[in-house]
Structure 1
Amino acid sequence: MRRAFAALVGLLMVLVLAACSDGVSLPGFGGSGGVERDPALAGGTLRIAAATELEDLAPVMERAADDLGFSIEMEFPGGTLENSERLAAGEFDGAYDGTWFATNRYVELIGASGKLTGADKIASSPVALGVRADTARELGWTDAAPTWSDIAAAAGDGDLTFAMTDPGTSNSGFSALVSVATALADTGNALTVADIDRVAPQLSELFGGQTVTSGSSGWLADTFRDDPSRADALVNYESVLHALATDGLDIEVIVPADGVVSADYPLSALAEPADPLARDRVAALAEWLYANPDVMAESFRRPAESTDLDPALTTDLLIELPFPGSREVTDRLVDAYQNTLRAPGDTAFVLDTSESMTGERMTSLQETMVSLVDGTARSSTGPVGLRDRERVSLMPFSSAPAAPTTVRFSTTDPGPGGELRAAIEGLQPAGATALYSALIDAYGAIEVGDGAIPSIVLMSDGENTAGADLQQFLGFHRGLPEDRRSIPVFVILYGEANVAEMEEVAEVTGGKVFDALDGDLGAAFREIRGYQ
């Protein structure tokens, strides 16, 4: 009898192990990945509109799909702020089943919570500074984390420069701006409009130290890693900074002692999903993520239901600051940052007016540039027009560079805007394409050393046919002093532009390529504004 019972138990165990090896979960025996499969969810697909901040987790979804028994497709339409606006506009209704952003706070702020049902907060990652190790030691920040006031004072004294994404387009920059303003206000409550006015001097002191901005966390991290001369520190999420440190960048990751706003990575089902089983599949994925905290921990995020953190993460008490309760406050804060608080831009627009720009192309260029001047240019997350105090040079070229128009822009004084608009409306297509000669001139138009954030935008619809060639430009660029050599060129691919040459120009100058080959010139210019 005992032998028969033992044989039966052995047979059952073999069956269980075989089932589990095939990814099948048996009731009472747990399940693959620590969860049990729900047969009712098998065979379908869960489509998630995710923020670009979560692109590193896409490969993990294959593992989750194998364990859960249904396909998982993560798409990345944009960052958290852009996705939130698109959610509010109804663009995700019926197209996706769920969302996964860095946070849903912005969704709530713009009144789009009704587009979602529930939110499982999967992990967290606080805003932090990645400070180059030698700078952190000089400032005495290796033993004790500084406060935001300490950081502002260091920037004001000229001892710290930093890179941060544009808070008008990127969630990491937006969260950092809210963090520092709330911490400096020091009321224990959510930020108010009156608080912004009161702490503006300290905010100006801090953001006077910003030397690089960006609409993309990825480009900013690459720039900070590849060119140490651009900034002493990088503001981003703790997880991003530790990933850079693991890749060999010698930085001290610092979470300010007086508080931050953290990403909490909520996984939510759409109220109007593509699939009727969406809510159940989102819940199953959330359960799987809770059961497999290593997924988040390995990316230096802090799993919501686990205290087993990566040893590199600080164990200091993290103070989570309250988030503003109204869009009036955040709009006022972002507007103050763009037009008053941050270092102004010094921007050269190098624009092709050769004969090939005749007709619709010239009309599109003129309409786009006028929208930047009159303030009607908008991205999905807000206005992207020219800013107060921005030094703007309009530099058209055809067979040779034309006389530039340079102004100090103002949103309240119509004079500078009127001068730019007259120059834009006066553009006439004719002649050949001396783009490298014009680009060389643009480096001389930027006033380096005045605390501004410099950039050059190069737009051409064809190959270089006059003046200096690519090799002559590259030789010129190598001979520039470091402060001018580090000015990035943001290239817009348009018409019949030489893609290979333009990509080389962007790479050599530390800039970036923006694709308008589909004809949407305005979208490329609007996206570039996050980098200026």
Structure 2
Amino acid sequence: MTAVVAHSRSRALAVLLALVCALVCAVALPACSRDEAAEPAPDDAREQPATNPDPSSDPEADPDVAGTTLRVLAGSEIKDMLPILEDAQAELGITVELTYQGTLDGTETVMAGEGDFDATWFPSNAYMTLFDEKSALVSEEASIMRTPVVLGVKRDRAAELGWDEKSPTWAEVVDAAASGEFAYGMSSPVSSNSGFSALVELATAISGTGAAITAADVDVVASDLTRFAQGQALTSGSSGWLMEAYDKDSSAVDGVFNYESLILQDPDLVEVIPQDGVITADYPLTLLSGRGEKVEAAYGALVDYLRRDDVQQRIADETHRRTDATTPDDERMVFEIPFPNRLATVRALLSSWVSEVRKPANMVFQIDTSGSMGGERLDALKAALLSLTETGADGTAALLTFQPREMIRFVEFASGIKSEKDLVVGEDGNLADVSSYVNDLSALGGTALYGTLQHALELAAQTRADDNVTSVVLFSDGENTDAPGIDGFAQWYEANEAVQGIPVYAILFGEASADEMGRLAELTGGRVFDAGDGDLTAAFKEIRGYL
């Protein structure tokens, strides 16, 4: 969370009163919007003394926003805006509290009236417009910057494919992925706006209708989506982490689907914009309804600051996004693909992707049930795992549950391995066996973390294949108590090629070592998810975007 503070300022609103005689008609001046300048007052009117010299006594004056807090639910993509927000402290008098959540599930949170937020700042409100609740829950929105979701291809591969000279169609991208000529990375469409936009771009283009995709079109394009999915070799739950993983080791892929602003930051990537169109994120800062005068004024002050000419130029320079300060000469032309106009279409497309189209997940859950996990901690762990079996969940939450074709392996450990369970989710999606296993977990013993992690990685390697996405999820609430330690594990890992490239996603909880979990994630190409506040369910659901 980041706080941004700035000096208050008031927007002057002049109410001009003119005396009229019988032969002169009354003249009314139009009101000004945030983007319009007020017309100059007549000279004689300007010479009149102010009727309200004290702004505090003027009922039309904006309230003093100094000290006002603006709580914003935002996409993690705007983290690169933090320096600009921090510099706003010199000019505004507000505090901006940022809480990060994915665009789709964050939108559903707000539309359900959950959370105490004053505003949102997602890459796009396109998904939000599909909800009937939007008109009642949203007061105002203002686009701050723009960036299309495009394809970044390694310079040499772009030349080999001919995409550096002539942009391919989406159908040509599908053919290249299906034939093995083009391997790519893409974030999860369920949790990340860039991945979701890329999926909509593809599905709409190959539907061939020339219009927004419909639920009926989803079945028609499913086979081409499946062919496209064969080329995915890197996945992620967020756009930023996708680029981090690519920058760390790009050997597995030829390119990535992501925001233009991120692609342009890598000099080794060539920006490729498919001929038949893309979707542009416009980052609308959105005020929610009924938040009070001071919050509304704070929102207005922040929007005015961010849309100021010099700040728009700074955003363009520092984040590589398109703004009002960029010109057609600075931007590559794009054809804009229409967004689906029905919520049912979005959900049908996402459901098809996770349950039928994408490569199935091959997951090993290494679960600590040592003695320290007794009581509330074990209850929280069970609740978090069971949340991934809730087949009756609504919206995107239903897509975070375990899906048909996925393989789930549990390795329960304490001083050693306590139990193992292999489960494959059938076409009917029945997860009763998973629920039964989780409910039987019990707490007892020490914490042989790294020895059992070696076993979990070996299990994962046994079933790793080009047609699945393999990973290990490590959960522990304490520090390792048995040999080997982190150093011994690192030596073992570097000597075992079979397990290399399998990411370990570690959940930081309880007394687990943040330093060791960070080192483990760095070593294996995984990531640490902080559940230090005790919200294990949120951590497990976030991880699902990476599996």
Fold shared, TM-score > 0.5 on shorter chain = yes
Distance change >3 Å, CA 306–CA 498, structure 1 → 2:
closer
For 1:517 and 1:72, how far apart are their aligned partners in 2?
A: 25
Cα distance, 1:472 vs structure 2: 2.0
Aligned with 1:462: secondary structure? coil
1:493 — aligned with what? 508
The one of 176, 180, 184 equivalent to 2:202 is 180
Cα distance, 1:494 vs structure 2: 2.1
Aligned with 2:176: secondary structure? helix
- Give the conservation status (yes or no) of the 8 Å contact 1:391–1:407: yes
Cα distance, 1:277 vs structure 2: 6.9
1:196 — aligned with what? 218
The one of 49, 61, 81 equivalent to 1:57 is 81
For 1:370 and 1:200, how far apart are their aligned partners in 2?
A: 30
Encode CA deviations 1:234-259: one digit per residue, 9 max, x unaligned.
111111211233xxxx1111111111
- Give the conservation status (yes or no) of the 8 Å contact 2:391–2:398: no
- Give the conservation status (yes or no) of the 8 Å contact 1:490–1:511: yes
Cα distance, 1:379 vs structure 2: 9.1
1:520 — aligned with what? 535
1:511 — aligned with what? 526
Encode CA deviations 1:275-329: one digit per residue, 9 max, x unaligned.
357269527834861634313321222224752554xx5x3x3111111111100
1:474 — aligned with what? 490
1:357 aligns with 2:377: no
1:433 — aligned with what? 447
Distance change >3 Å, CA 53–CA 70, structure 1 → 2:
same
1:84 aligns with 2:100: no
- Give the conservation status (yes or no) of the 8 Å contact 1:436–1:469: yes
Range with bigger deviation, 320-329 or 467-476? 467-476
Cα distance, 1:479 vs structure 2: 1.4
1:56 maps to amino acid: D
For 2:126 and 2:420, how far apart are their aligned partners in 1?
A: 44
The one of 313, 316, 325 equivalent to 1:297 is 316
The one of 242, 254, 257 equivalent to 1:220 is 242
1:321 — aligned with what? 337
For 1:257 and 1:362, how far apart are their aligned partners in 2?
A: 52
Q: How many residues align?
A: 489
1:275 aligns with 2:293: yes
- Give the conservation status (yes or no) of the 8 Å contact 2:70–2:298: no
Encode CA deviations 1:164-199: one digit per residue, 9 max, x unaligned.
111111111111111111111121111111111001
Encode CA deviations 1:31-68: one digit per residue, 9 max, x unaligned.
xxx9999x85575457362432222223223555656x
2:70 maps to amino acid: R
1:332 aligns with 2:328: no
For 1:107 and 1:413, how far apart are their aligned partners in 2?
A: 29
The one of 146, 152, 156 equivalent to 2:168 is 146
2:192 maps to amino acid: S
1:385 aligns with 2:401: yes
Distance change >3 Å, CA 276–CA 251, structure 1 → 2:
same
- Give the conservation status (yes or no) of the 8 Å contact 1:165–1:217: yes
The one of 382, 387, 390 equivalent to 1:371 is 387
1:16 — aligned with what? none
Aligned with 2:473: secondary structure? strand
Question: Where does the alignment leave 5 or more consecutive residues of structure 1 unmatched?
Answer: 1-22, 28-33
Range with bigger deviation, 259-268 or 176-185? 259-268
- Give the conservation status (yes or no) of the 8 Å contact 1:379–1:527: no
The one of 105, 108, 114 equivalent to 2:126 is 105
Aligned with 1:205: secondary structure? helix
2:540 maps to amino acid: F
1:258 aligns with 2:276: yes
For 1:469 and 1:221, how far apart are their aligned partners in 2?
A: 30
- Give the conservation status (yes or no) of the 8 Å contact 1:351–1:395: yes
1:10 — aligned with what? none
- Give the conservation status (yes or no) of the 8 Å contact 1:168–1:381: no
1:233 maps to amino acid: G
Encode CA deviations 1:192-246: one digit per residue, 9 max, x unaligned.
111110011111111121122222222211001111123221111111211233x
- Give the conservation status (yes or no) of the 8 Å contact 1:358–1:429: yes
User: TM-score normalised to the size of structure 1?
Assistant: 0.84
Distance change >3 Å, CA 124–CA 380, structure 1 → 2:
same
1:75 aligns with 2:88: no
1:15 — aligned with what? none
For 2:295 and 2:451, how far apart are their aligned partners in 1?
A: 60
1:5 — aligned with what? none
For 2:404 and 2:11, how far apart are their aligned partners in 1?
A: 61
For 2:534 and 2:289, how far apart are their aligned partners in 1?
A: 35
For 2:80 and 2:171, how far apart are their aligned partners in 1?
A: 33
Distance change >3 Å, CA 280–CA 373, structure 1 → 2:
closer
Aligned with 2:507: secondary structure? strand
Cα distance, 1:474 vs structure 2: 0.7
Aligned pairs for 1:6-25 within 5 A: none
- How many percent identity over aligned positions? 36
1:423 — aligned with what? 437
For 1:35 and 1:59, how far apart are their aligned partners in 2?
A: 28
Cα distance, 1:410 vs structure 2: 2.4
For 1:193 and 1:364, how far apart are their aligned partners in 2?
A: 37
Question: Where does the alignment leave 5 or more consecutive residues of structure 2 unmatched?
Answer: 1-8, 14-34, 39-54, 56-60
User: TM-score normalised to the size of structure 2?
Assistant: 0.81
Cα distance, 1:454 vs structure 2: 1.0
The one of 222, 228, 253 equivalent to 1:231 is 253
Distance change >3 Å, CA 224–CA 327, structure 1 → 2:
same
Aligned pairs for 1:377-416 within 5 A: 383-410=399-426, 412=428, 414=430
- Give the conservation status (yes or no) of the 8 Å contact 2:153–2:269: yes
For 2:303 and 2:89, how far apart are their aligned partners in 1?
A: 9
2:179 maps to amino acid: D
1:19 — aligned with what? none
- Give the conservation status (yes or no) of the 8 Å contact 2:368–2:447: yes
Encode CA deviations 1:333-373: one digit per residue, 9 max, x unaligned.
11111111111111000011222222332233233323323
Distance change >3 Å, CA 325–CA 273, structure 1 → 2:
same
Encode CA deviations 1:390-440: one digit per residue, 9 max, x unaligned.
1111111122224522222125054xx344334333333222222211110
Encode CA deviations 1:68-104: one digit per residue, 9 max, x unaligned.
x5546362432433432233233576x52x4433111
2:466 — aligned with what? 450
For 2:396 and 2:194, how far apart are their aligned partners in 1?
A: 17
- Give the conservation status (yes or no) of the 8 Å contact 1:371–1:377: no
Cα distance, 1:480 vs structure 2: 2.2
- Give the conservation status (yes or no) of the 8 Å contact 1:352–1:459: yes
For 2:469 and 2:329, how far apart are their aligned partners in 1?
A: 38
Cα distance, 1:120 vs structure 2: 3.0
